[in-house]
Amino acid sequence: MSADQEFAIRARNLTKAFGSLVAVDHLNLDVPKSRIYGFLGPNGSGKSTTIRMLCGLLTPTEGTATVLGIDVPGDVDELKPRIGYMTQKFSLYTDLTTRENLEFIADIYTLSRAVRKQRIEELLEQYDLGAQQRQFAGTMSGGQKQRLALACAVLHKPELLLLDEPTSAVDPSSRRDFWAKLFRLADAGTTILVSTHYMDEAERCHRLAILDKGVKVADGTPGDLQANTGMTIVEVLASSPYSAQGLLSRLPEVASVTQLGVRLRVLVPESVRQPLDLIQAALHAGDISAETNIVAASLEDVFVAVTQKNTLQEHTT
């Protein structure tokens, strides 16, 4: 199988600079077809800039990308009918109704009258928008707007769907429903590239890249990333979590301490021998009563580990 048949997106050394600011720094990317591929990272990590380069809205400063077998930058007009793009901010017409927005998008993609009528009826039902079809988009709830934006993005049945933090303004129930729809699209053959800063959403992706300050610092399945953090994770249930965090953060062997309610997640490099004994001894010396256990890494632990490694490399180069 050729690369074009196996991957929907391939990028090599993709870079975008705005003056002295390097928003995306020599990114290499392989996105398999018919899979949900996630970009995880905080605001400013380069997620949105990468997506805009891949759909032809921004010209790379350096590097190359192939999207659905088409070079980017290149024949963007050939690419546009084959992709769907959903931005973080609701970008449809608020003074048009749900149906009118769908009809307008159908006009853009020059769908025939028969095809558009059938497709709009399908989407109104699939995305639970029938009751809102005569409602102005500007008066809809966040979840309804999200469903409408997704319906418009897939109206022309794109091969590739690019989603830029699509769930940032909706409630948890709407987010779960949204992801159920994404899985159905992927099962039907659509490739999906979705950016997010939610850990629970990142765990749902088939494969995941973690971006930090424009650099890809990790890439793999969520399970593989969690199994290869390079860290031992010690969970601490302390009588005084704040005091315990301050004490453990000062240990030179400890990479990170994060408080989650009454629990602490302590990251210790795997090169440190007997990490549990180290933590217990430090807490005992500080007269802090605590229960300690070695636990499996979460995706948040992975994120902390790889971004700290990236920061350390920046400071040593």
Query: pLDDT tens for residues 138-175?
Result: 999 988 999 999 999 999 999 999 999 888 777 888 88
pLDDT of 33-81, one tens digit each?
A: 999 999 998 888 999 999 999 998 899 999 999 999 999 887 788 998 9
pLDDT, one tens digit per residue, over 228-270 is 999 999 999 998 999 999 999 999 999 999 998 889 999 999 9
Indicate the pLDDT class of residue 186, thresholds 50, 70 and 90: very high
Which residue among 221, 239, 269 closes a domain? 221
pLDDT confidence of residue 262? 87
Q: Is residue 110 part of a domain?
A: yes
Instruction: Kindly indicate the confidence band of residue 307, based on its pLDDT and cuts at 50, 70 and 90.
Output: confident
- Measured between alpha carbons, how far is 197 from 202 in angstroms, rounded to an integer? 8
Query: What tokens does 7 get?
Result: 């991957």
Residue 117 within a domain: yes
Q: Residue 314: inside a domain, yes or no?
A: no
Cα-based distances in Å from 166 to 63, 115, 207, 231: 27, 27, 18, 31
pLDDT of residue 173: 85
Q: What is the CATH number of the domain that holds 84?
A: 3.40.50.300
Say if 75 falls within a structural domain. Answer: yes
pTM for this model (two decimals) = 0.89
Please check whether residue 181 lies inside any domain of the structure.
yes
| Mean pLDDT in residue range 208-229 | 94
Residues 15 and 32 in one domain: yes
- Tell me, yes or no, whether 172 and 237 share the same domain: no
Same domain, 162 and 281: no
Among left, alpha and beta (phi > 0; psi -120 to 50; other), residue 125 is alpha
Task: Looking at the structure, tell me whether residues 250 and 189 fall in a common domain.
Answer: no
Decide if 113 is inside a domain: yes
Alpha helices, H only, the chain:
3-6, 47-54, 76-79, 98-108, 113-126, 142-154, 172-187, 199-202, 222-227, 241-249, 275-285, 299-316
- Both 7 and 125 in one domain: the answer is yes
Task: Tell me, yes or no, whether 80 and 172 share the same domain.
Answer: yes
- Number of structural domains (the chain) is 2
Last residue of a domain, one of 176, 201, 221: 221
Q: What is the pLDDT of residue 315?
A: 44
Does residue 100 share a domain with residue 242? Answer: no
Backbone dihedral region for residue 287 (phi beyond 0: left; psi -120 to 50: alpha; all else: beta): left
Task: Tell me how many degrees the CA angle 81-79-54 measures, rounded to the nearest 5.
Answer: 120
Once rounded to an integer, what is the mean pLDDT over residues 24-30?
Answer: 96
Question: Which pLDDT score is estimated for 42?
Answer: 85
Instruction: Express each pLDDT in 273-301 by its tens digit.
Output: 999 999 999 999 999 999 999 999 999 99
Residue 310 belongs to some domain of the structure: no
Residue 301 is assigned to a structural domain of this protein: no
Q: Both 173 and 283 in a single domain? A: no
CA quadruple 93, 97, 102, 105: dihedral positive or negative? negative
Specify whether the CB–CB gap between 259 and 241 falls below 8 A. Answer: yes
Give the pLDDT score at 316: 43
Q: Is the pLDDT assigned to residue 9 strictly greater than 50?
A: yes
* HEC sequence for 117-137: HHHHHHHHHHCCCHHHCCCEH
Structure confidence at residue 310 (pLDDT):
56
Q: What local confidence, expressed as pLDDT, does residue 170 receive? A: 77
Assess whether 242 and 213 both reside in one domain.
Answer: no
Amino acid 2: pLDDT: 54
Q: Which domain holds residue 142?
A: 3-221
Give the CATH number for residue 243: 3.30.70.100
Same domain, 259 and 197: no
In the structure encoding, which two tokens stand for residue 309, read together?
């490694």
Residue among 83, 73, 74, 157 at smallest CA distance from 115: 157
Partners of residue 22 on adjacent β-strands: 17
One domain, residues 153 and 271 = no
Peptide bond preceding 73: is omega within 30 degrees of 0, i.e. cis? yes
Q: Is the Cα torsion angle 38, 41, 46, 49 positive or negative in sign?
A: positive
Q: Find out whether 196 and 164 touch, Cβ atoms under 8 Å.
A: no
Residues 130 and 216 in one domain: yes
